[in-house]
Chain A
Amino acid sequence: MKVYVPMDSAAKALGADAVAEAVVAEAARRGMTLEVIRNGTRGMIWLEPLVEVDTGAGRQAYGPVAPGDVPALLDGTLPGLGRVEDIAFFARQTRLTFARCGVTDPLSLDDYAAHGGLAGLRRALGMTGAQIVAEVTDSGLRGRGGAGFPTGIKWNTVLGAVADQKYIVCNADEGDSGTFADRMLMEGDPFTLIEGMVIAGLGVGASRGYVYLRSEYPDAISVMNAAVQIARGAGVLGPDVLGSGRAFDMEIRVGAGAYVCGEETALLNSLEGKRGVVRAKPPLPALEGFLGKPTVVNNVISLATVPVIFEKGAAFYAGFGLGRSRGTVTLQIAGNVARGGLFETAFGMSLGELVLDVAGGTASGRAVKAVQVGGPLGAYMPPATFDTALGYEDLDAAGGLIGHAGVVVFDDTADMLGLARFAMEFCAVESCGKCTPCRIGAVRGVETIDRIARGDAEAISLLTDLCETMKDGSLCALGGFTPYPVMSALTHFPKDFARRKEAAE
């Protein structure tokens, strides 16, 4: 008998460790033989800790499980959820990047290989660098970290650069509120990220890689470090990747709590040991990146999607999606929501279907007021925009951005003026300080919103003007995109800005 208890940090934050201990203790008390496997999460966070029991006739799911439920769980009398694959939220997903997450033991390379792992790498080892880059280009994969830049074009630039050393840098500084896909993937299926980085290295001619991982994710750091050691021990990493005679090795580096280091040039400065200040582009990191050498900088999900593209082929992957948004998007449903978690699906589902149908609306049972899509720099979308399709171009046309595909739901008690103020305050705290619109603009933004809150209606035009300046004049997305949450709140929820005026009069 096998019992799966997730070791994902969200599951642990909801008591998974105590459940795992209770399973071991209760089995010992009964003299039962069972194996407890700490898997990743299936991503249905409202059901965590979600325990699966395999008695040889398929995995049966139970959740949320408390330690007190364990005797009934082992008796087989605890009411269950059936198979995970049959739960509606899970059944309607297309799991490509997250196919193994929650299924396997994250640190078992054998389990990884048994579920399709390393097939992509083995195929890539028989290809030239140019063929590898072409495969990624043909898949239509775009940067999943937010910018949406075509991955194949970025890789091609690095492939064409001439240098004694090139690098693959994985941006695992997932600092956006409402996003946790990177964390979930690294904790639940770390080898797929490693495999993706090796393929990237083979493709562009880079023999070294780094994962820049934020310090707020201690569990992901320890899982990734362990996975790198295991991969090195098994010859997936090192001077002779899978006996091919080609070299690729990598390290995990830990950030130090600065949001702006999620911006790729600030990240590179931080990795080099400097202040995480944004660099002006050009030169592009693809030509002068880490230590001045040609560098691929890709997000976790982008790199972790590479293995499945090579396993199943570019055409298979490109067969999913909408317009120029190809493949799947790993939507992260968060905030005040009945069914929060990770939902991987082809691009193109409407925002309303996701929020009202898949996620089941708010947890509080109240009406949805706003949905922030794309992290703290993403727009607040009112229900009137719910027919917007989730794709790069569609969201852009609706005045938003998909960003890292975080979707944060707010009910009708949300104070949009307060949230707009928070966006400016966050920018002021996290600005790297290099450019004036961001450094000063954010501070002035907080002051201006406070004026509006005190009933000064004239300050609204000042705020609009300030946002224009920040949008056009900032060096990177932190200052440049902070106007998205601020202006969307002001535009879609004017009453929240005017009501205060009446209250003040």
Chain B
Amino acid sequence: MPADQPADQPAPTQAEISALIDGNLHLEGPMLPILHAVQAAFGHIPAAALGLIATALNLTRAEVHGVVSFYHDFREAPAGRHVLKLCRAEACQAVGANALAQDVLARLGVDWHGTTVDGAVTVEPVYCLGLCACGPALSLDGRAVGRVDAARLQDVLRGVGV
């Protein structure tokens, strides 16, 4: 799973990016696998990758940018050290997801897509984790938590140092 990994790493080199591109070029429709590989490695899609991908796939840089910007998963800048995704979909709303989200955002002092000032956590909305029978649901760094109540929320927030 190409997770949203925290950054704080040195800028990726051209050779590192090219190796990830080359490893996927044999696929039919290699664009998304390449972007997932790049984001898994660097926590975001660095601007330097756009031109390299464009050349490798015989596209314009603008076309690659168009693809990257279309999808919610791809970031132009690294996320915080942890990524907390809160489900906003109807099934979770039916069991209090809106109040839970307000609580989390207020306690972290961020809005949707925001990162706490210490860089610890980025909060993202997600529309369904497939945990609709045990909402409200969230995921922390790809690990799902269901039926989130005050105690479970406290555990999750402790996990991100809050």
Residue positions of A touching B, CB distance < 8 A: 9-10, 12-14, 45-46, 48, 174-180, 182-184, 208, 215-222, 251, 253-259, 270-277, 290-291, 332-337, 340-342, 363, 372, 376, 406, 408-411, 414, 419, 422, 426, 430
Contacts and interface: CB of A to CB of B under 8 A. Distances in A.
B135 A334 contact: yes
Contact of A340 (B73, B93, B134): B134
Interface of A is mostly: mixed
Contacts of A208: 28
A14 B72 contact: no
Given A10-B131, A257-B73, A177 B90 contact: yes
Contact of B74 (A216, A256, A277, A336): A256
Contacts of A273: 29-32, 57, 67
Nearest to A215: B73
B2 A215 contact: yes
Given A273-B29, A291-B29, A183 B130 contact: yes
A273 B130 CA distance: 25
B132 A179 contact: yes
B134 A48 contact: yes
Contact of B132 (A217, A256, A408): A408
A272 B73 contact: no
B10 interface: no
Contact of B95 (A276, A336, A406): A336
A335 B90 CA distance: 8
Among B70, B131, B132, B137, residue most surrounded by chain A Cβ atoms (within 10 Å): B132
Given A13-B131, A258-B71, 11 more contacts: A9-B130, A13-B137, A13-B145, A177-B128, A179-B130, A183-B130, A253-B29, A254-B33, A275-B67, A372-B90, A422-B93
B130 A10 contact: yes
Contacts, number: 162
B134 A408 contact: no
Interface residues of B, number: 43
B79 interface: no
Interface of B: 1-3, 27-33, 35-36, 57, 66-67, 70-74, 89-95, 126-135, 137, 142, 144-147
B94 A12 contact: no
Contact of B36 (A254, A271, A334, A422): A254
Contacts of B36: 215, 254, 256
Across chains A and B, which 8 residue pairs bring their CB atoms closest together, nearest first?
Answer: A273-B31, A340-B133, A177-B89, A13-B146, A334-B132, A256-B71, A335-B94, A257-B72
B95 A363 contact: yes
B133 A221 contact: no
B67 A177 contact: no
Contacts of A332: 132-133
B97 to A, nearest CB: 10
B131 A180 contact: yes
Instruction: Give the secondary structure class of B's interface.
Output: loop
Nearest to B28: A291
A14 B67 contact: no
Contact of A180 (B35, B126, B130, B142): B130
15 contacts: A9-B130, A9-B144, A10-B146, A13-B146, A13-B147, A178-B91, A216-B129, A219-B144, A255-B32, A256-B32, A258-B72, A275-B70, A335-B94, A406-B132, A422-B90
A256 B89 CA distance: 17
A257 B35 CA distance: 13
Given A9-B144, A274-B31, A336-B95, A177 B132 contact: yes
Nearest to A340: B133
A217 B129 CA distance: 7
A367 B146 CA distance: 24
B46 to A, nearest CB: 17
A305 B137 CA distance: 29
A138 B81 CA distance: 54
A182 B130 CA distance: 9
Contacts of B71: 255-258, 276
Contact of B126 (A174, A178, A216, A253): A216
Contact of A408 (B29, B33, B74, B90): B90
Contacts of B89: 177-178, 376
A275 B129 CA distance: 23
A182 B57 CA distance: 32
Given A177-B128, A332-B132, A271 B72 contact: no
B95 A335 contact: yes
Contacts of B57: 273
A215 B94 contact: no
B33 A253 contact: yes
Contact of A430 (B30, B126, B127, B144): B127
